[in-house]
Amino acid sequence: MFKPTENQFHKLTVTLLWIIFVFYGIIAVQKILGGNALPIVMNFKAWGLWSYIKAIGFIELIGIALFLTYKYRILGLLILCIDCFAAITTRLVHSETILISVALLVLVLATYWIRNIDFRRNKTIYIPDL
């Protein structure tokens, strides 16, 4: 039975995380530019995987899980920020209140700043590479 080494597992994990990040980023960019992101996520549903609401919710859960880990905290921050900016933009287009989305974005950024002791001390950010 194939058992990957720790380095191979790390590379596979980072690759999958970047694929999820890019997929979610494409959806967010289309929403921000005013386009309809439903064709992309409907293809996701057409592949027989999930409905688009469940897919986006699952990606948000992945973002939260990454945000809570030390090593992949920056990827979680990027996913959650994209989600908040897409929610703010969508609500602005539909003339709805953005208070909850802005509060969530401020909470995420404040939590990142408080938990990121290395950045405050050394002014360095750890970004996982392939």
| Per-residue pLDDT tens digits for 39-93 | 655 565 565 555 666 767 777 788 888 888 877 777 788 888 877 777 777 777 7
In a domain, 129, yes or no: no
Q: Of all helices (H) and strands (E), which one includes residue 119?
A: helix 117-122
Burial 75-90 (b: 16+ CB within 10 A, else e): bbbbbbbbbbbbbbbb
Both tokens of 2, joined, read 């194939």
The pLDDT, as a whole number, for residue 125 is 55
In a domain, 68, yes or no: yes
- Return d(Cα 91, Cα 83) in angstroms, integer: 12
**pTM reported for the whole predicted model:** 0.51
- The three-class DSSP label of residue 94 is coil
Q: Which residue range(s) make up the domain with 47? A: 6-122
In a domain, 130, yes or no: no
Cα dihedral 4, 5, 11, 13 sign: positive
User: What's the total number of domains in the chain?
Assistant: 1
In a domain, 53, yes or no: yes
